[in-house]
Amino acid sequence: MSKNDVLDRTDIEDIVARFYADMLKDPIVGFIFTDVAKIELDHHLPVIVNFWMDVVFGGRHYDGNPLRKHLELHQKIPLRPGHFTRWLYLFERAVDAQHAGDNADKMKQRAEMVAKSISAAIVQGRRRDMQLVLPRD
C-alpha cells in the first residue's frame, strides 16, 4: 500500500489522534499524561495540531511554550530521557502508520529535535540544582 505525504490539517489531526490514542495507553508514558498532567483532550489536541501545522506548513497557529510546560510537569514528576525516547518512538510510529514523504520526515525530524532539546533542558536544570561537595582535607 502506498502512503501519502502529510498534505493538510486533516492529516495532522489523524496523526495526532493516533499518537495520543497509543500514548495514553502506553505503560511507560501514558500515566504522565493521564494521572500527572491530566490533559483534557478536547482542549489539548487542537493545540498540538496547531503546533504541527506551524512546523509542517508554516504560519502562526500555535501560541505556546512547550519547554515551559514540560519544565512545569517535571516539577510534578521527574521526567527522564527514557520518557522522551518512548514519546519519540510512539510519535514516529503514528506518522509512519499512514504517511511517507518530505512533510512526514519533517514532522519526525522536528519531533526528535523537540524531544532532545526538552530532555537536555531538564538535565541542565538538574545539574544547576546540584550542589558541589568537596572532600574535606
- As annotated, the binding site for heme includes 43
DSSP conformation letters of 15-70 = HHHHHHHHHHH-TTTHHIIIIIS---HHHHHHHHHHHHHHHHH-SS-----HHHHH
Distance CA 37, CA 31 (A): 9
For CA atoms 99, 104, 14, 87, the dihedral sign is positive
Cβ contact 100:119 at 8 Å: no
Helix (H, G, I), strand (E, B) or coil at 137: coil
- As annotated, the binding site includes 43
